[in-house]
Structure 1
Amino acid sequence: MQSSNGEKWFIGIDGGGSKTRAAICNEAGQVGAIVVGESSNPLSRSWGDVEATLRQLMDAVRIKAGAKEEEVAGLFIGLGGADRPQIKERIQHAFADEWGERLLINNDVIAALYAGTWGQPGVVLLAGTGSIACAFSKEGARHRVGGWGYLVGDEGSGFDLGKKAASAVLREYDGRGESTVLTQLFMDHYGVERPDELISLIYGGSNPRMELAKTSQLVEQAATLGDPVANTLIMQAVEDLLELADACLKKVQEPVPVVLAGGLLTSSTILREQLIGRASFQTIIPTVPPVVGALVAAFTKLGFVVDEKMAEQLRVSAEVLEEKSHN
């Protein structure tokens, strides 16, 4: 897509722990390019590396769409922790001089929310490696529940589910717990012959939190096979996540939808099916990735409204680019 004279462009960046995505669209909502780069989590990478990744993606997505820097009306950067003063100041120090008032900064949960509400208020319920619920009211107030990390929180998350599954396997090995399909699945996954051999691999891994979170897929697999232990663990996770969302909704004190985000809730899982079935609130499963929500954030922060026509344009054009990237 080539830019024409005077055309306005918007860039949205969705920063994640494993990868960062940037997208660009024009004022009609036509997405011109989507690019992917390394992690931009300022809590797990040096700031120099994060800044370099963001700059690389900004330039790449703009050049790919044929847009000039001066034609970009808004740049939204959504990063984990970007609502904290220290991280926000770093982003401003790095980019404010060149972008000025066009620079918009917020936590990446905004991108996840707007991928479901198209700029309207709501609650994000996120269950990935960790878990958190964040609410944004019509008045602009923000409320947060959970997200306190794997040592004291992250209930219902992939890590929490994986940790409890590993515990169930070891309880069976000790003779303290029920027989479970999870035992064989865990041994196959880690390539061991006895459950007690799991310990050195779990504790000695390069990133135990992330590695245990991945084993939440084994819980889903075991539940599909009808394993009672796995199904019980999934129902515990469902109750924990419903509790997060309900607590958030009480803080908002207005009927807003709950957007489901994170790997456990954006995939077609038993956990998601059970959560939706038990929820007392309206749930939304986004039809676009969070990076499109970041574009919506760039629009709305500058006073634009994303109507149905624009939302459809964003959805369809992003889908076309996604399909091309996989071919």
Structure 2
Amino acid sequence: MLTIGLDVGGTGARAALARDGVIIATTSTDRPTRIGSGGVDAANAVAVLTPLVRELVTGRPAPIDAVGAGLTGFALLGDELRVRLPQALAEAAGTPVVVLCSDMLTSYAGALGLRGGAVVAAGTGAVALGSDWLGAWHRVDGWGYLLGDIGGGSWLGRAGMQAALRASDGRPGGSPVLLAALTERYGDPIALVRDLAGRDDRAGVMAGFVPAIAAAAQSGDPVAAGLLAEAGTQLATSALAALPPGAPREIAYTGNLFQAGPALWDAFATTVTAGATLREPGGSAVDGALRLAQGAAEDALPPNAPLHLTRPSTASPR
């Protein structure tokens, strides 16, 4: 069986070709897809992704059985893209079986496999997805940096910046170490606040302060260490909350934030293992897209899965 998996973000995409689940070719692009932004451009997404698929299938005499694609901002995709992108991917790959879903679902399938449990993803944002693999699905958080993404990079970076500003004010709970890091990195705190107010990428700017928090914690700053520990606890709480009743109590994780330091990891692992089994991630979002593609080709996807599926027998979304 030949399958193609795509991991698609707003600033690029990765793609892989697998034979019987084993990756045999990969490709990628840094060209912006503009998927997940306020103005999703169907034509641009098609133009970016179809060359990746064509590159993978060139010179392959065997037919492709299915394509799976996980997209950042899947919930924002309009009807035009939900129609045009599967058609374009199907034509490029020479297969009628195409799965579109959020990158959270491909991260779940990559980290945990095609089985029940929960996966928490932590990068700039934070979201957890759980399932019993029998039809029950539960998403926790992923509400964005203004109201949610608790424990994620933007949340943690903002908390670190707030601790720095408390130190600048002379209020309790501040961190002079973080204030020094903020001043060195961004200059005058007043200028940072003014700059953040007018930026569209403020979540990413705040998440960019996480390495400074990690470095401060490593140097012995108790405020920074406490913030990392709180982030780890919050991420674990979201993961546990994502487990539907009756689901296997197994939790995996994915995302760069888990590399922020032992304070975050220890708090996360301690909280998770108090109520579930913690699993090492088994693969990436691309691996998850390939697994979902194979599941679609074998008609082995679980009921009520949050995805859009086209196949010859239905040619309609699931």
Q: Which residue of 1 is the match for residue 171 of structure 2?
A: 176
Shift of 1:78: 1.1
Shift of 1:52: 1.4
Distance 1:136 1:88 in 2: 26
The correspondence for 1:301, drawn from 296, 303, 317, is 296
Q: Which residue of 2 is the match for residue 12 of structure 1?
A: 5
The answer to which structure has the higher helix fraction is: 1
Q: Which residue of 1 is the match for residue 265 of structure 2?
A: 272
Contact 2:66–2:95, Cα closer than 8 Å, also in 1: no
Shift of 1:22: 0.6
The correspondence for 2:71, drawn from 79, 87, 105, is 79
Distance 1:204 1:30 in 2: 46
Distance 1:122 1:304 in 2: 21
Q: Which residue of 2 is the match for residue 166 of structure 1?
A: 161
Give the unaligned 5+ runs of structure 2.
301-318
Q: Which residue of 2 is the match for residue 189 of structure 1?
A: 185
Contact 1:110–1:297, Cα closer than 8 Å, also in 2: no
Q: Which residue of 1 is the match for residue 83 of structure 2?
A: 92
Residues 1-327 of structure 1: matches in 2 within 5 Å?
8-27=1-20, 29-37=21-29, 38-40=31-33, 42-44=35-37, 45-63=40-58, 66-68=59-61, 71-82=63-74, 84=75, 86-87=77-78, 90-96=81-87, 98=91, 101-177=96-172, 178-190=174-186, 192=187, 194-205=188-199, 207-249=201-243, 251-265=244-258, 269-279=262-272, 280=274, 281-303=276-298
TM-score, normalization by structure 1: 0.80
Contact 1:264–1:272, Cα closer than 8 Å, also in 2: no
Q: Deviations over 1:49-74 (max 9, x none)?
A: 222111122112223xx325x71001
- What SS does the aligned partner of 2:114 have? coil
Distance 1:143 1:89 in 2: 27
Q: Deviations over 1:211-246 (max 9, x none)?
A: 111111211111111111111211221222122112
Contact 1:162–1:212, Cα closer than 8 Å, also in 2: yes
Indicate the RMSD between aligned Cα atoms, in angstroms: 2.4
TM-score, normalization by structure 2: 0.82
Shift of 1:48: 2.2
Q: Which residue of 1 is the match for residue 308 of structure 2?
A: none
| TM-aligned CA distance change 1:85 to 1:131, over 3 Å | closer
Runs of 4+ in 1 over 6 A off after TM superposition: none
- What SS does the aligned partner of 2:52 have? helix
Distance 2:282 2:128 in 1: 20
Shift of 1:169: 0.8
| TM-aligned CA distance change 1:300 to 1:268, over 3 Å | farther
Q: Deviations over 1:99-120 (max 9, x none)?
A: 6641112221122112222322
Give the unaligned 5+ runs of structure 1.
1-7, 306-327
Aligned residues: percent identity? 28
Shift of 1:267: 6.5
Distance 1:85 1:181 in 2: 40
